[in-house]
């Protein structure tokens, strides 16, 4: 604990785990949708990427302590411990998270990314918050049919169910 290097590494771990912990807590929300989860994961990736170039809250605190060679009344001694390569660590973490994103389960070719974007768009029709208050007959049916074909589900059953749900006013679906 008396090593500035150890303290710096510990601060990096704290800042990183803080971001991952926040993501984990938000993903556990029972109201979470696939679309929202994807956005949250991408936001966390951007925040982790930003840590490569700016210090997190604990890293800022530790940087001050390292300069003064004192942390909470503990004198820091330079023991020449090799520190974690911050850029490489964060880059690897970000790359592993990107590898697990929905879009990257496909190859990274533009065609596959278009397929993924189409699928995410189709999923968004399942989120009633995205439904217009006034909609045209047939609204969302093509997306439901496409999802049914993609996942081998009974098209007529799910399209009929969707049409029935769409006929119910949105405000009556959510008791206040």
Q: How confident is the model over 146-167, as a mean pLDDT?
A: 87
Mark whether 65 and 130 lie in a shared domain. Answer: no
Residues 153 and 100 both lie in one domain? no
Residue 148 and residue 97 share a domain: no
State how far Cα 129 lies from the chain centre. Answer: 20
Q: Are residues 73 and 160 in the same domain?
A: no
Residues 57, 134, single domain; the answer is no
> Distance between terminal CA atoms of the chain?
53
Is the same domain home to 132 and 160?
yes
pLDDT at position 5 over 80: no
Helix or strand run (H / E) with residue 32: none
Q: Which domain holds residue 92?
A: 4-105
More confident residue, 128 or 28: 28
Question: Does 160 fall in a domain?
Answer: yes
| Cα separations in angstroms, 103 against 4, 41, 98, 119, 124 | 40, 12, 9, 10, 15
**Are 51 and 90 within one domain?**
yes
Q: Which residues pair with 71 in a beta bridge?
A: 74
Residues 40 and 11 in one domain: yes
Instruction: Tell me: do 82 and 158 sit in the same domain.
Output: no
Looking at the structure, tell me whether residues 22 and 82 fall in a common domain.
yes
Q: What's the structural domain count of the chain?
A: 2
Whether residues 14 and 81 share a domain: the answer is yes
pLDDT greater than 80 at residue 141: yes
Predicted local confidence at residue 172, as pLDDT = 46
Report yes or no on 118 lying in a domain: no
pLDDT digits (tens, 9 = 90+) for 79-120: 677 778 889 999 999 998 987 776 545 455 556 667 777 877
Strands 70-71 and 74-75, sheet pairing? antiparallel
Q: What's residue 43's pLDDT?
A: 94
The residue with tokens 């206040």 is 176
pLDDT digit string (tens) for 52-78?
Answer: 888 888 888 777 776 656 556 666 566
Residues above pLDDT 70, as percent of the chain: 77
Q: How many angstroms separate the CA atoms of 89 and 103, rounded?
A: 23
Domain assignment present for residue 115? The answer is: no
Whether the predicted pLDDT of 4 surpasses 80: no
Say whether pLDDT at 165 is over 50. yes
- Residues near 32 by beta carbon (within 8 Å), at least 6 away in sequence: 26
| Of the residues 73, 105, 137, the one at which a domain ends | 105
């Amino acid at each position: 604990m008396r090593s500035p290097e150890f303290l710096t590494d510990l601060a990096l771990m704290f800042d990183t785990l803080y971001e991952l912990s926040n993501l984990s807590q938000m993903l556990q929300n029972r109201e979470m949708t696939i679309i929202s989860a994807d956005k949250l994961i991408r936001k966390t990736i951007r925040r982790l990427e930003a840590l490569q170039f700016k210090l997190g809250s604990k890293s800022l605190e530790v940087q001050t302590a390292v300069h003064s060679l004192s942390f909470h009344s503990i004198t820091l001694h330079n023991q020449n411990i090799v520190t974690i390569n911050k850029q490489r660590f964060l880059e690897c973490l970000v790359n592993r998270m990107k590898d697990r994103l929905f879009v990257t389960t496909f190859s990274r070719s533009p065609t596959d990314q278009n397929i993924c974007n189409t699928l995410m768009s189709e999923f968004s029709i399942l989120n009633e918050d995205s439904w217009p208050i006034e909609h045209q007959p047939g609204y969302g049916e093509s997306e439901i049919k496409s999802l049914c074909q993609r996942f081998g589900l009974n098209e007529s059953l799910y399209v009929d169910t969707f049409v029935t749900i769409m006929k119910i006013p949105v405000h009556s679906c959510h008791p206040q």
